[in-house]
């Protein structure tokens, strides 16, 4: 943004809507030329922008989402276009996502009844360039030509001060979603025009506050549409349109509910049934191979459910139910589950061991069934299939210095071995893979799957152009020198991801969080089973047992934080802190406690918790 303002007299105002991720600490002193306004509550999109407008002094205002990257000449070109329209206009621009795909919401029409019906029914998808059926995203208008449109996307709205004031700004009845549609409608009603300007392209990572697959998104989006209809359409049209809105809510909520059920409840339950079925199928198949073996059915009715539960538990703690479906994750989970099952089986008394052959065959059958069901649900879009990056080949596009900075971040992400090398801009050396002109060839040869573009040696305009030209399936990220951060976004329906060397915490990783929870449960059960011993050893055994029960049921954790440092991954309150002391008895300086918490979250290991619990046993009560 600062580079885009180089030849323009302007100001940057950032209005923070009560972020809870440590944004104030991170940004406040990094950009002295930016005016930050830190709000203590989330006012919503429209009201926050109206408040920020009061501090702005320019004749032309740009409302811009924070998850965007502008080319250096974007503002100059956009301002020139606005000034060329004598009748007065507001402006939106061409947008692409993090994978270089054109974002259709760059140009839209108002959501009338038929327009919405064609979109909800799928006719707009079947006829993407039809003037009638694809009207919602104005599919008949080419994306590389500037045109007058109905709706400006809220991610980038450039509007003269006099027009914004004439229409009284954003309607604050809209909390999130629909504000841009409503503003665009009132701009037209006031006699001005809305334009889609294709003379510049911005990158929009779509890092929205509400995930698009969630029930909350469905509710908020359609509530916004309902407010818009009641406000601007006649009563008869509003009733007709609300019928489509309610149909959309039911349909979308149904799909969202099914997806959430499968992820959090339905999928594990379905897997448990499939795994149990696999044991019985394994038994039947093994009987065909060795018909002379007789199994005790009473034993199997106990063994098969227990082994099914062990399989499911091992799979869960090895990452099977992390966000999205990846075949590599299922492969790893199955191998770990198999090792656990065979280990448990080996320690069973002989009278409880049914057959290693049945066990192995059952695991193989379970693997096949789990794979097939996931492929089916992924094809139906009920669960999301994520691309595997186990064989990712990364190239860093930038200078030698930028390459070294990016490698620092990548080292924290444990992806150092995936980096093939550097693609140079103007400084070739013997170790570089080639120049910008060689990227296409490297991709064709199958050597590259990921590119990280450095915003230093490359301008934002060059980066956006390069991202747009990448073939489908090639992922890209953008590195900002100084901030030591990489921004990535591969999915147009999901928020972008932010990685920084100084902010990579192991406790943000689901695998480490599950390990911590497993250790909590293990210790809690152990302490409860050995309760008589603690009656002698503990000064307050009743408090100790109560604390163990709170840990067991997920209300507390054995080791937590001792400070309220905002940048750390969230944990339950701890019986003791990372310092080894209970929260109320910490006698260290605040800075020392914050540093202890930071290192605990960053370098977490179950052995850390094990040592803290063992050495501070008395403090647990």
pLDDT tens digits for range 363-417? 999 899 989 988 888 777 667 666 544 456 888 999 998 898 888 878 766 677 7
Mean pLDDT of 17-43: 76
Whole-angstrom distance, CA of residue 610 vs CA of residue 256: 40
Considering only 8-22, 160-174, 592-606, which range has the smallest mean pLDDT? 8-22
Does position 210 have pLDDT exceeding 60, yes or no?
no
Output 280 or 235, whichever has higher pLDDT: 280
What is the per-residue pLDDT across 56-79, written as a single tens digit (0 to 9) for each? 888 999 999 888 889 999 999 999
The pLDDT of residue 556: 92
Whole-angstrom distance, CA of residue 245 vs CA of residue 415: 45
Q: Which residue has the tokens 């080419």?
A: 142
Whole-angstrom distance, CA of residue 173 vs CA of residue 168: 13
How many CB atoms neighbour CB 179 within 10 A? Answer: 27
Output 598 or 196, whichever has higher pLDDT: 196
The pLDDT of residue 498: 54
Residue of 68, 303, 298 lying closest to 203 (CA atoms): 68
Cα distances (Å, whole numbers) of residue 347 to 277, 310, 312, 341, 351: 24, 14, 19, 10, 11
Instruction: Check if the beta carbon of residue 110 is closer than 8 Å to that of residue 188.
Output: no
User: Beta 574-577 vs 557-560: how paired, if at all?
Assistant: parallel
The pLDDT of residue 208: 46
Considering only 72-81, 141-150, 273-282, 389-398, which range has the smallest mean pLDDT? 389-398
Identify the band that residue 92 occupies on the pLDDT scale cut at 50, 70 and 90: very high
Does position 486 have pLDDT exceeding 50, yes or no?
yes
Mean pLDDT of 556-570: 83
The DSSP letter of residue 263 is: I
The pLDDT of residue 547: 92
Does position 275 have pLDDT exceeding 70, yes or no?
yes
Identify the band that residue 254 occupies on the pLDDT scale cut at 50, 70 and 90: low
Percent of residues in the chain assigned helix, strand, coil, to nearest 5: 50, 15, 35
Mean per-residue pLDDT over the chain, rounded: 81
Mean pLDDT of 444-449: 75
Whole-angstrom distance, CA of residue 544 vs CA of residue 548: 6
How many CB atoms neighbour CB 136 within 10 A? Answer: 22
- At residue 129's C-alpha, the angle toward residues 126 and 135, to 5°, is 90
Does position 91 have pLDDT exceeding 70, yes or no?
yes
DSSP conformation letters of 528-567:
HHTHHHHHHH-SSHHHHHHHHHHHHTTS-EEEE-SS--TT
Identify the band that residue 216 occupies on the pLDDT scale cut at 50, 70 and 90: low
The pLDDT of residue 503: 54
Instruction: Check if the beta carbon of residue 274 is closer than 8 Å to that of residue 368.
Output: no
The pLDDT of residue 74: 93
The pLDDT of residue 33: 81
Whole-angstrom distance, CA of residue 315 vs CA of residue 71: 46
């Amino acid at each position: 943004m600062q580079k885009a303002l180089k030849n323009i007299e302007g100001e940057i105002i950032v209005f923070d809507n009560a972020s809870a991720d440590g944004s104030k600490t991170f940004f406040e002193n990094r950009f002295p030329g930016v005016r930050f306004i830190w709000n203590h509550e989330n006012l919503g999109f429209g009201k926050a922008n109206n408040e920020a407008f009061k501090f702005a002094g320019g004749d032309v205002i740009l409302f811009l989402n924070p998850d965007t990257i502008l080319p250096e000449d974007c503002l100059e070109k956009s301002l020139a276009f606005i000034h060329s329209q004598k009748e007065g206009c507001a402006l939106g621009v061409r947008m692409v996502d993090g994978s270089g795909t054109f974002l259709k919401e760059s140009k839209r029409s108002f959501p009338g009844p038929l327009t919405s019906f064609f979109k909800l029914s799928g006719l707009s998808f079947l006829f993407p360039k039809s003037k009638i059926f694809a009207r919602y995203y104005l599919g008949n208008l080419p994306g590389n030509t500037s045109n007058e449109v109905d709706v400006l996307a809220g991610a980038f709205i450039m509007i003269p001060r006099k027009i914004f004031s004439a229409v009284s700004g954003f309607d604050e009845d809209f909390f999130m979603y629909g504000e841009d549609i409503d503003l665009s409608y009132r701009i037209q009603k006031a006699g001005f025009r809305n334009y889609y300007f294709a003379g510049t392209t911005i990158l929009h990572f779509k890092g929205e506050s509400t995930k698009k697959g969630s029930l909350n998104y469905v509710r908020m989006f359609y509530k916004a549409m309902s407010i818009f209809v009641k406000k601007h359409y006649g009563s008869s049209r509003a009733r007709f349109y609300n019928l489509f809105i309610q149909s959309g809510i039911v349909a979308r909520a149904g799909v969202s509910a099914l997806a959430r059920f499968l992820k959090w409840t339905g999928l594990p339950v379905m897997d448990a049934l499939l795994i149990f079925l696999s044991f019985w199928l394994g038994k039947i198949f093994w009987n065909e191979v060795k018909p002379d073996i007789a199994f005790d059915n009473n034993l199997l009715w106990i063994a098969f459910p227990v082994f099914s539960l062990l399989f499911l538990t091992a799979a869960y703690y090895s990452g099977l139910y992390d966000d999205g479906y990846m075949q590599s994750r299922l492969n790893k989970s199955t191998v770990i589950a198999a090792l656990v099952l065979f280990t448990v089986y080996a320690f069973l008394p002989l009278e409880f061991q049914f057959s290693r052959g049945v066990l192995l065959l059952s695991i193989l059958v379970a693997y096949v069934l789990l794979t097939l069901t996931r492929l089916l649900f992924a094809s139906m879009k009920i669960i999301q299939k994520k691309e595997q990056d186990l064989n990712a080949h990364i190239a860093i596009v930038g200078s030698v210095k930028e390459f070294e900075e990016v490698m620092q971040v990548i080292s924290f992400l444990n992806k150092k071995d995936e980096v093939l090398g550097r693609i140079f801009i103007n400084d070739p050396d013997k170790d570089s893979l080639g120049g910008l002109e060689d990227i296409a060839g490297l991709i064709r040869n199958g050597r590259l799957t990921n590119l990280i573009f450095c915003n230093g040696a490359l301008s934002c305009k060059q980066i956006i152009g390069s991202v747009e030209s990448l073939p489908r399936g090639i992922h890209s990220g953008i590195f900002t020198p100084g901030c030591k951060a990489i921004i990535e976004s591969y999915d147009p329906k999901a928020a972008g991801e932010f990685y920084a060397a100084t902010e990579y915490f192991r406790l943000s990783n689901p695998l480490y969080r599950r390990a911590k929870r497993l250790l909590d449960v293990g210790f809690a059960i152990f302490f409860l089973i050995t309760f008589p011993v603690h009656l002698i050893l503990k000064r307050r055994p009743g408090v100790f047992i109560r604390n163990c029960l709170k840990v067991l049921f997920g209300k507390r954790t054995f080791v937590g934080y001792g400070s309220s440092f905002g940048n750390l991954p969230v944990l339950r309150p701890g019986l003791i802190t990372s310092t080894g002391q209970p929260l109320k008895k910490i006698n260290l300086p605040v800075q020392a406690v914050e540093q202890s918490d930071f290192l605990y979250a960053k370098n977490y290991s179950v052995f850390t918790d094990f040592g803290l619990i063992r050495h501070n046993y008395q403090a647990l009560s």
